[in-house]
Amino acid sequence: MTNATGPGRELTIQAEWKQWLENTFENFEGNLDNAALLMTAFTQVKSYVFEKLTTRGLKDFQRPHTIILLDDVAIPVGEVEKGKYVYIAKKYLGEMSQNDMQRETTVTRPEGAIAFQGLIPDLFRLDGVEETHHAAYHQTKTNVEPLLDPISTPMEEYDAREIEYRALKWRVRYAEEQKMPEVTVNLLRKRLEAANTVRANIRKKRNLELQQIQKGPRVEAYHKPSIKKKDKRKQQKQSRRKKRGR
């Protein structure tokens, strides 16, 4: 893609994406103009995340390449090869490009939770923020939590996972800075609040477990039975007799 700057930069990149899609896919099942718009939205935010992270000292982060997956995958947007690539599935791009870009849409998870509300280009921008941040996380962290199934795991639990939680905070920040529609920003804030609750409960549970470990196993106190005075005098007499008999 081009390195052009100035007011026409986004339109220039969008035109390049359209030409690339036309040249690469002979029969693209979707709206080419909208698909180019969505790919531009997805890729432009890489610079936003890259510049923010590098200015904070994350010098080892390499900007990921963008690819379009030809295979039909369960997760249509993601990152692979430890953050080297971020991707969008071709089928997903084609389906989303056939919608009205100016009409509000709702994305619902399998369990019924609403994951997104707003304009489709904003959805792709937020996905770009999330996956670019994931790429940075995988590039620079050595101890990454095991992957959870995003389809079967409840949304608030999935969002509470460290890598997802950090990316969600970036999504909220970006949506606020870009002044996205109120319905989009409010939903992201609710997701973050729910994730905070889950994380707080996890910390509380861990603290209780740690306290139990520090206390150690419960041991019943042992008290030596007291000796009555008469019995004590009797023992003393027996002791004196033994000494005389020696």
User: Does the predicted TM-score (pTM) go above 0.75?
Assistant: yes
β-strand partners of 106:
117
In contact, 225 and 184? CB cutoff 8 Å: no
Q: Mean pLDDT highest for which of 52-61, 189-198, 220-229?
A: 189-198
Q: How confident is the model at residue 178 (pLDDT cuts 50, 70, 90)?
A: very high
Quick check: helix, strand or coil at residue 95?
A: helix
pLDDT at 194 over 90: yes
Q: Tell me, what's the pLDDT at 23?
A: 92
In contact, 144 and 167? CB cutoff 8 Å: no
Q: Tell me, what's the pLDDT at 174?
A: 96
Q: How confident is the model at residue 183 (pLDDT cuts 50, 70, 90)?
A: very high
Q: Tell me, what's the pLDDT at 144?
A: 75
At 94, list the tokens. Answer: 């084609």
Quick check: helix, strand or coil at residue 154?
A: coil
Mode of pairing for the β-strands spanning 65-69 and 85-89: parallel
**60-74, 128-142, 171-185, 229-243: which has the minimum mean pLDDT?**
229-243
- Using alpha carbons, select from 224, 220, 230, 167 the residue that is nearest to residue 195: 167
> What average pLDDT does the segment 125-129 reach?
97
At 105, list the tokens. Answer: 């849409």
* Angstrom distance (rounded) from CA 65 to CA 1: 11
Q: How confident is the model at residue 3 (pLDDT cuts 50, 70, 90)?
A: very low
